[in-house]
Amino acid sequence: MTKGIGQLVGVVIVLAAGITAGTLLSGAQPSTAPSGPGMGMAAAGTPEGPATMPAAVYVQLTPQGAGGRADQTRIPLIGEEAPAFSADTTQGPIKFPEDYKGKWVMLFSHPSDFTPVCTTEIMTCGAMAAEFRALNCELVGLSIDGTASHIAWLRTIAQKVKYKDMANVQVGFPIIADLKMDVAHKYGMLQPTASDTKTVRAVFLIDPNAKIRALLYYPLTNGRNFQEIKRLLIAMQTTDKYGVATPADWQPGEDVIVHPPSTMDGAAERNADSKEYNYVDWFLCFKKMPKEMLTLAPTQK
């Protein structure tokens, strides 16, 4: 048995909400789709369905040699502490989170240097780096390539590559050389069903307290919308500063949502005559949030 465990390659243990223990152990397909908030999950032991496992945990075991250890890959969740790491980059060694105290960080991975989609992405990030910095956000890139490869790629981009209205783009933020995949494993950037040797297009927005606030995963073939990621960053900063929420497709300067009351008395106090907010119903009220009240990049003011 011990020998068998030592030879495990790419084994994935999944405990997903809505999949029963019996289904998981038998290997059978679940009779219903995994459930969660808003998806009609049956409570454990209720007539609506069998007892379910309430959490989702993903663990990847990679090959373990003699005397070695099995590496674990887990995607950090929103609200958790961002995993700490030290790494070599195109701007020298960095330590996270020590080097980024008091700042937001956008940590993002790309599959490989000298590839077309990644080139357009890194150029876009290079061109937008000042806009993110104006929002107190530093960019940190990553791929499973060496520092020499990163440098050669960035020099080629600066000297030869044109994309849309961008040319001669200088990428001044650090790109991690994660040849041993240490950081990629800590952040769940390696997904074997996509590739065993390339990171997917992961994005982590990490706040000044080193907490994961948002994460996005894109497939290898499709580039990210960094304007949308910047919009999300501004929305979260607005929430933190004013205690409001932002509606679908919100853009800076548009109305924001007043958090709904949590008691019957609070609901009764909401009324259409209020001058503080635009009343739609007791649970849906908007208020003005002009751009002048927000922290924005110079191009958005």
pLDDT tens column, 68-95:
334 556 899 999 999 999 999 999 999 9
Q: Are residues 252 and 182 in the same domain?
A: no
Helix, strand or coil, per DSSP, at residue 159: helix
The CA dihedral of 267, 271, 274, 279, to the nearest 10 degrees, is 90
Measure the CA–CA gap between 160 and 138, rounded to whole angstroms. 26
Could you tell me the pLDDT band of residue 196, with boundaries at 50, 70 and 90?
low
Query: Between these two residues, 125 and 197, which has the higher pLDDT value?
Result: 125
State how far the alpha carbon of 237 is from the alpha carbons of 65, 135, 174, 280, 294, in Å: 45, 9, 23, 25, 9
Q: Are residues 218 and 247 in the same domain?
A: no
> What pLDDT was estimated at residue 11?
34
Range of the domain at 277: 243-300
Task: CATH number of the domain at 194, please.
Answer: 3.40.30.10
> What pLDDT was estimated at residue 154?
98
Measure the CA–CA gap between 25 and 225, rounded to whole angstroms. 40
Q: Are residues 219 and 189 in the same domain?
A: yes
> What pLDDT was estimated at residue 30?
40
In a domain, 165, yes or no: yes
CB-based contacts of 29, cutoff 8 Å, min separation 6: 23
Stated pTM of the model: 0.75
Q: Are residues 182 and 212 in the same domain?
A: yes
Q: Are residues 211 and 271 in the same domain?
A: no
Answer yes or no: 137 catalytic: no
In a domain, 1, yes or no: no
Residue of 118, 125, 137, 285 with catalytic role: 118
